Amino acid sequence: MVTAAFIIFGLAAIVSAIMVISFRNPMASAIALIVTLCSIAGLFAIMGATFVAALQVIVYAGAIMVLFLFVIMLLNLKRDEFGPEKRKIQRTLGIILGLLLVLEVGIFIQAGLGDFGPSPAGDKGSFTSITELSSLLFTKYLFAFEVTSLLLLVAIVGAVILAKKKL
């Protein structure tokens, strides 16, 4: 049951991810990306991390991708506006780096770090586990947490300044 669901969601994630980069129509790419994000949420849910799965859908699929669609709609990007790809260096670099990534992932899976499956700590969706998660965020990972929030604040301020130069 779990394996079947894993295969379905995994395949959906991979196929739609390939669709994201192969479609010429930006709208279609964005929709494929939504499917990818939802499938990844499904993978999280299978592994018992229901809280993360819900957040994945709410934040990525529900909010960020809506903004992506928003931008695509506003700019009214069309299929043919990109033209043929000319940059040769980019393509060779892309192939080399892609192969490196595959190699790296393979090494990690070989090393046993890819021991995927439901986490042994039981169901991650209960409130106690959310309490654990938040206390971890505010103790062990406090620095990273605060730095991230600072980064987001900088991004917001930057966006406002760029948008309203006369402020």
Residues 81-110 that bind other proteins (CB under 8 A): none
Give the long-range contacts of residues 7-16, CB within 8 A, separation 24 or more.
8/42, 9/39, 9/40, 9/42, 9/43, 9/46, 10/39, 10/43, 12/36, 12/39, 12/42, 13/39, 13/40, 13/43
Helix (H, G, I), strand (E, B) or coil at 133: helix
**34 lines the binding site for other proteins (CB under 8 A):** yes
Residue 57 contacts other proteins per CB under 8 A = yes
CB of 21 to other proteins, least distance (A): 19
Q: Determine, following the binding rule CB under 8 A, whether residue 69 of this chain makes contact with other proteins.
A: yes
Footprint on this chain of other proteins (rule: CB under 8 A)? 27, 31, 34, 38, 41, 50-51, 53-55, 57-58, 61-63, 66-67, 69-70, 73-74, 123, 125-127, 130
